[in-house]
Structure 1
Amino acid sequence: MDMFVFDDFLRSRYGAIFSVALCLMLPTHAFAGHPLATEDSGVQGRDNVQFELSVDRAVERDSRLTSQSVNATVTYGMTDALDVAFSAPWLRNQISEDPDKFQRGVGDASIFVKWRNYQDGKFSLALKPILTLPTGDSAKGLGNDRLNPGGTGVLGWGGDSVSLSANLAYTFNDNKLGDRKDIWSSSFSVVAALANRLSGVAELGAYRNSNAASRKNPVFATVGLVFHPSDKLDLDIGYRNLLLDSRRQYSIGAGIAVRR
């Protein structure tokens, strides 16, 4: 998934623009993403469908520039071990200190599959190839204007009350800006049952800075809560802190996941 695009937008023709695409990233046995960026190894199961909708607001601490994203994802279980999904974001990016000056529209959509290729007791492995589509308007800073393939390897461990996930991902960041094209990312997350229908989530992660002039890689941390009214419905809230070079951003968001 497109985890963060702060650095791309900050160095675009709208130098002040920044944004975040958070699928931001759900029961503990099959955590589906938001508010985490870390993917788990859970799949939907044959013929099951999940719809996710999340809303996030990001703020740069120094400039107070803001960005909003609304992301919708539909996932279908092709088999008991293979999911296919489509995700599309809508973005609104402030482009100056004037809150009335912004760019908004559809961002870059993505198609991905997740294959849980190994499970032995509490341990599992999954692969998630992804293709990001150039559906956003690059002239407005809403897209990359190029196809970007990538993939994520997932290691999962699921206990009775605690689940752990670790990710290692690669994206070919094809672009016209002179940015790095080989981008890696890694993250680790914990999901813990706090009560009968309430889970707490936390993660740490980092990714390679796409700015070829910088040797400092962005790092982020996320915390959140997920409420499970039923086995078919999850509601979540989350907070993320991101350090990018000398700039600090934070984002807050909420999401809903419905399964059939």
Structure 2
Amino acid sequence: MKWRFYEKDGLSFGLKPGFTLPTGDDGKGVGAGRATYHLFFLVTREMKPWAFHFNLGYTRNENKLDENKNIWHVSAASTVEVMKDLKAVGDIGTERNASRNLNVPKAFILGGVIYSLWEDLDVDFGVKGGLTRPQDDLSILAGITWRF
């Protein structure tokens, strides 16, 4: 969930809080064994057909795996409307690695599309590539956004 607490003249500020509940079996190495929480600060500047986004985040990585507990995240993205109901997306970012053994942050680049099925419902597809060794080399992404 995101909350836009300020929106005027194409500029908006928002917060994206969240939490994760432990659902795996940490004894089998599936899951971290503890609940975690995060908070992201979001800035968007819209200048049709473009929009620019900046994200700054913090995750409290509570775990039984001796991972770093304080994870930061920063990213910048842009969207452009290429035709009615279809946007192209680009995103680049980095975050602190959860592993205490790796001092190299994870870094990524992402490209994709967003299609608006209705005014308040979008579907998106993308490809995410790793820019540093700790980041996965390639990920295929899909999502749904419902605005209310």
* Match of residue 127 from structure 1: 15
DSSP 3-state at the match of 1:212: coil
- Residue-by-residue CA offset, 1:84-133 (whole Å, 9 max, x unaligned): x4xxxxxxxxxxxxxxxxxxxxxxxxxxxx33222231111112222211
User: 1:255 and 2:140 equivalent?
Assistant: no
Q: Please list every run of 5 or more consecutive structure 2 residues that lacks an aligned counterpart in the other structure.
A: none
- Aligned AA (1:242): G
CA change 1:232–1:128 in 2 (3 A) is closer
Aligned residues: CA RMSD: 2.1
- Residue-by-residue CA offset, 1:36-90 (whole Å, 9 max, x unaligned): xxxxxxxxxxxxxxxxxxxxxxxxxxxxxxxxxxxxxxxxxxxxxxxxx4xxxxx
CA change 1:117–1:245 in 2 (3 A) is same
CA change 1:131–1:232 in 2 (3 A) is closer
Contact 2:49 / 2:80 at 8 angstroms: preserved in 1? yes
User: 1:145 and 2:33 equivalent?
Assistant: yes
Structure with bigger strand share is 2
DSSP 3-state at the match of 1:158: strand
DSSP 3-state at the match of 1:139: helix
CA change 1:140–1:158 in 2 (3 A) is farther
DSSP 3-state at the match of 1:135: coil
Output the CA distance in 2 between the equivalents of 1:159 and 1:140: 49
Q: Report the identity percentage.
A: 32
- Aligned AA (1:121): D
TM-score for both structures, normalised by structure 2: 0.87
* Match of residue 56 from structure 1: none
User: 1:203 and 2:91 equivalent?
Assistant: yes
- Aligned AA (1:184): W
Q: Which has the higher contact order (CA 8 A, sep 6+)?
A: 1
TM-score for both structures, normalised by structure 1: 0.52
Q: Please list every run of 5 or more consecutive structure 1 residues that lacks an aligned counterpart in the other structure.
A: 1-84, 86-113
How much has 1:155 moved relative to structure 2?
A: 0.9
* Match of residue 115 from structure 2: 227
